[in-house]
Amino acid sequence: MNTLLQINNSITVQQALDFVQTPECGGVAVFVGNVRNVTQQKKVTKLLFECYEPMALLEMEKIAQHTIDKMGIKKIAILHIVGEKLPGDTVVVIAAASAHRAAAFAACEYAIDTLKETVPIWKKEYFEDGAVWVAAHP
Amino acid sequence: MNTLLQINNSITVQQALDFVQTPECGGVAVFVGNVRNVTQQKKVTKLLFECYEPMALLEMEKIAQHTIDKMGIKKIAILHIVGEKLPGDTVVVIAAASAHRAAAFAACEYAIDTLKETVPIWKKEYFEDGAVWVAAHP
Amino acid sequence: MRVLLFGIAKDIAGAPFIMAEGITTVAELKVWLYKQYPALQKLRSLMIAVNKVYAADVDVLKPEDEIAIIPPVSGG
Amino acid sequence: MRVLLFGIAKDIAGAPFIMAEGITTVAELKVWLYKQYPALQKLRSLMIAVNKVYAADVDVLKPEDEIAIIPPVSGG
């Protein structure tokens, strides 16, 4: 298999690297997304990630396959957490391995951009004075 | 300090991540360069990396500062190995953290592209029938 | 038919799934949802997934389909 | 003055450093090097670093400078 897709309570960069790294690929591009401690000048106390898991895995699979079929990627890992997280915690890891580093960067950026648009995962930000579902309203 | 620059016998991705990750930065882009087992259809048995270390660190510092001063990067780590390596081994790690992921990707790609052009490090590839200094001749 | 809800849509409906009857297309389901839960009209977007795939307004719904309301996603 | 050598330049000269005398500019040093070690002319490029910074042909060399030959780099 050339793709590793996981939705889990805990994910690590090492997991993604261990999967994609092979002696045939010179370059691996990785994106690591972490919880920020401040959003729009407000202190974030915690986050909740909810997920429609079977569909999320299918959408992640579409993204991964596109990078392999069309963008020159040999192996790709897309990992995303669910559940409660604190500022600083890692919520998403994407690692793409290719013989050519430009392809690895392009695929990694495509994967995170598309994940944020299409994969059914929802983030609720908790502040000292309330909580909001991110991006729900215009 | 916002930059971690290291030339060492052994480097890890975790080292770079531990340095650049802060709760203020949502996105970290990473590049991992590994020894390939084949170059131009020939099997690579080992590699030797040689380095003019004091100058290499200064050139790495220029790259790192450019990403911080001009490309919106908060923290960046550039790690490169020296000495003998085998196919599959990691030889370079670059990690760039920014509030915006597009900036992190752009800076990471700029850093590896520029490192390959300016930093005084030399790679000798060993094959079953000889060895060559990579890119030495036209 | 059973309709799954997530994120803010689940909060608005107050339940992880709801039952809808007499609906045959995605467009009809949206009209019904907006009437039942007017707060859904205020969202930036509202997609319907049928059997784990984003559906178009003209798509037909069958009783055995797995139907889900997808409010604006915000993963990553 | 002492001149440091690296990579293929070190292999060509057969030593990690060499001594050069009566040279006052980077351009003169290159001419001298090409004469002493004709194989250096075949390289894709040859840069000179003075005090750990890439130098231009017109730059002046002083005896106390740290001078290094930089053949084509291939890190990463």
Q: Which residue from C44, C52, C75 is facing A123, i.e. has the nearest CB?
A: C75
Q: Confidence class of residue B83 from pLDDT cuts 50, 70 and 90?
A: very high
What totals of helices (H) and strands (E) does chain D contain, helices first? 2, 5
**C44 vs A contacts (CB less than 8 Å):** 135-138
Q: Is the pLDDT score of A40 beyond 90? A: no
Q: Do B123 and D75 touch (CB under 8 A)?
A: yes
Mean per-residue pLDDT, A46-67: 98
Report yes or no: D4 and D20 within 8 Å, Cβ to Cβ. no
User: What is the pLDDT at residue A25?
Assistant: 83
CB of A12 within 8 Å of a chain B CB? The answer is: no
Nearest to A41 by CA among A127, A124, A114, A110: A127
Mean per-residue pLDDT, A67-87: 97
CB of A136 within 8 Å of a chain C CB? The answer is: yes
Q: Domains in chain A: how many in total?
A: 1
* β C67-70/D17-19 pair status: unpaired
Alpha helix (H) ranges present in chain B?
13-20, 53-70, 101-118
The chain-wide mean pLDDT, for chain B, equals 95
CB of C45 within 8 Å of a chain A CB? The answer is: no
B85 belongs to a structural domain: yes
CB of A88 within 8 Å of a chain B CB? The answer is: yes
Consecutive sets of 10 residues in chain C, 76 residues long: mean pLDDT of each? 97 97 96 97 97 98 96 96
Range of the domain at A102: 3-132
Are D and B touching by the rule of 3+ CB pairs within 8 Å?
yes
Report yes or no: A110 and A51 within 8 Å, Cβ to Cβ. no
Sign of the dihedral defined by the CA atoms of residues C48, C50, C56, C61, in that order? negative
CB of A45 within 8 Å of a chain B CB? The answer is: no
Cα–Cα distance between D51 and D59 in angstroms, integer?
12
Instruction: Let me know how long chain C is.
Output: 76
Q: Do A136 and C43 touch (CB under 8 A)?
A: yes
A91 sits in which H/E element = strand A90-98
Cα–Cα distance between A117 and A112 in angstroms, integer?
9
CB of A138 within 8 Å of a chain B CB? The answer is: no
User: What is the pLDDT at residue A37?
Assistant: 85
pTM > 0.80? yes
Q: Is the pLDDT score of B66 beyond 90? A: yes
Cα–Cα distance between A122 and C9 in angstroms, integer?
11
Cα–Cα distance between B103 and B28 in angstroms, integer?
9
Cα–Cα distance between C76 and A115 in angstroms, integer?
7
Over residues D4-31, the pLDDT tens digits come to: 999 999 999 999 999 999 999 999 999 9
At A44, list the tokens. 């974030």
Q: Which residue from B58, B115, B137 is facing D75, i.e. has the nearest CB?
A: B115
Q: How far is A36 from chain B (nearest CA, A)?
A: 5
Residues in Cβ contact with A70 at an 8 Å cutoff, skipping those fewer than 6 apart: none
At D29, list the tokens. 């040093």
Q: What CATH number does the domain containing A61 carry?
A: 3.90.1170.40
Over residues B102-118, the pLDDT tens digits come to: 999 999 999 999 999 99
Q: Do A33 and C76 touch (CB under 8 A)?
A: yes
Nearest CA in chain C to A50: C7
Mean per-residue pLDDT, A50-74: 98
CB of A134 within 8 Å of a chain C CB? The answer is: yes
**How many Cβ pairs closer than 8 A exist between chain A and C?**
81
CA distances from B93 to A118, B14, B133, C51 (A): 30, 10, 22, 42
Q: Confidence class of residue A57 from pLDDT cuts 50, 70 and 90?
A: very high
Mean per-residue pLDDT, B7-18: 96
User: What is the pLDDT at residue A55?
Assistant: 98
B50 belongs to a structural domain: yes
Residues in Cβ contact with B70 at an 8 Å cutoff, skipping those fewer than 6 apart: none
- How high is the ipTM of this complex? 0.93
Cα–Cα distance between D22 and C3 in angstroms, integer?
88
Q: What share of chain A is helix, strand, coil (3-state, %, to 5)?
A: 30, 40, 30
Over residues A109-132, the pLDDT tens digits come to: 999 999 999 999 999 999 999 999
Residue with tokens 């036209």: B138
User: What is the pLDDT at residue B25?
Assistant: 83
| 3-class SS of residue A138 | coil
Cα–Cα distance between C31 and D54 in angstroms, integer?
69
**10 Å Cβ neighbour count for A55?**
23
Instruction: Report chain A's C-alpha Rg in angstroms.
Output: 16
User: What is the pLDDT at residue B23?
Assistant: 82
Report yes or no: B20 and B95 within 8 Å, Cβ to Cβ. yes
Q: How far is C72 from chain A (nearest CA, A)?
A: 5
Q: How far is B69 from chain D (nearest CA, A)?
A: 20
Mean per-residue pLDDT, B79-88: 96
User: What is the pLDDT at residue B43?
Assistant: 92
Cα–Cα distance between A2 and C51 in angstroms, integer?
25
Cα–Cα distance between A85 and A69 in angstroms, integer?
34
**B98 vs A contacts (CB less than 8 Å):** none
CA angle in degrees (0–180, nearest 5) for B104-A22-B33? 35
CB of A87 within 8 Å of a chain B CB? The answer is: yes
- The CATH architecture annotation of domain D2-70 reads Roll (3.10)
Q: Do B135 and D74 touch (CB under 8 A)?
A: yes
B138 belongs to a structural domain: no
Over residues D37-53, the pLDDT tens digits come to: 999 999 999 999 999 99
Q: Is the pLDDT score of A47 beyond 90? A: yes
